[in-house]
Structure 1
Amino acid sequence: MEGLALLEGWARDGLTDELIAEKVGIGARTLYEWKVRYPQILQALKKGKEVVDRQVESALLRRALGYFYDEVTREGGVEVKRVTKEVQPDVTAAIFWLKNRCPDKWRDKQEIRHSGYLAVNNPYSGLITDELKKLINET
């Protein structure tokens, strides 16, 4: 049980599977095999990563929207001044959030599908090669 808590903690701290394997003293492939063979190891790693993923997600959203916070100045452990400050919304964070959360609307490249036949008015479509050459030479 202590080993699982350690694995979960390392995952929560943001360590990759490769770094976790190194800390345990095994290769990354062995850790992968353990995750397949022992579901409790897989769950501990997932649980740890989920915690930090949620924290980062919350921080990104907060940054994208902007927020207020109180800056407190203390002297001798006593609060002497409190100022409410604002962090402006971050456009880059908002774009990142939208592109990842709503890719159908916000990704850079939009896929547009057409249905049916698209008619093009081409006055030269029925001409043979010799007729086209003759037109070219006339101009």
Structure 2
Amino acid sequence: MAKGKYEHWLTPDGLTQLKAWARDGLTDEEIATKCGICRDTLYEWKKRFPDISDALKKGKDAADIEVENALFKRATGYTVVETRVEYEFGVEIKRVEITKEVPGDVGAQCFWLKNRRPDKWRDKQQVEASVDSDIQITFADELQEFVQ
């Protein structure tokens, strides 16, 4: 492990930077590169220094929550208010607010359901079947009779 490199990343500024990189979607390998270390060293730091591990986890959690909220909004639909401004000779003469309903997106709905309720919505359903049968194969006996 690089001696002393971790010290900067344990400061409030360092932890904030780690959290921001994780929130921005960087992988552990990309974060390690930005820290000037290899990925394995970052893994060791995460085990050895809970503050580093927590900063990375909080950053990733924040990004995941933001994306989940955006996906949910897209799947269920939402209302948006647009403001239109009319000008005449460079002077504002009228301002109108228009409320629009944005319908839910079917693609987002499918993605959400396939991941949240795979038991009901996954493309490939697994069906288990078992058959109990009392069928007896007597072909060998019939073949023996035929040969004689």
2:54 alignment partner in structure 1 = 43
- Secondary structure of residue in 1 paired with 2:84: strand
User: TM-score scaled to structure 2, two decimals?
Assistant: 0.75
- Secondary structure of residue in 2 paired with 1:61: helix
Note the 1:4-43 alignment, pairs <5 A.
4-43=15-54
1:118 alignment partner in structure 2 = 131
Worse overlay, 91-100 or 105-114: 105-114
User: TM-score scaled to structure 1, two decimals?
Assistant: 0.79
- Secondary structure of residue in 2 paired with 1:26: coil
Q: 1:86 aligns with which of 90, 94, 101?
A: 101
C-alpha spacing 1:126/1:26, structure 2 compared with 1 (3 Å):
closer
Please state if 1:70 is matched with 2:70: no
2:122 alignment partner in structure 1 = 107
Superposed CA offset, 1:57-98 (max 9, x none): 010011111111011234789981211122221111111111
Contact 1:72 1:79 in 2 (8 A): no
C-alpha spacing 1:30/1:127, structure 2 compared with 1 (3 Å):
same
Whole-angstrom CA distance in 1 between matches of 2:118 and 2:143: 47
The amino acid that maps onto 1:127 is: T
Whole-angstrom CA distance in 1 between matches of 2:76 and 2:124: 25
Whole-angstrom CA distance in 2 between matches of 1:29 and 1:54: 27
Whole-angstrom CA distance in 2 between matches of 1:10 and 1:51: 11
The alignment covers a number of residue pairs equal to: 131
Q: Which runs of 5+ in 1 are unaligned?
A: none
Report how far residue 33 of structure 1 moved.
1.2
Q: Which runs of 5+ in 2 are unaligned?
A: 1-11
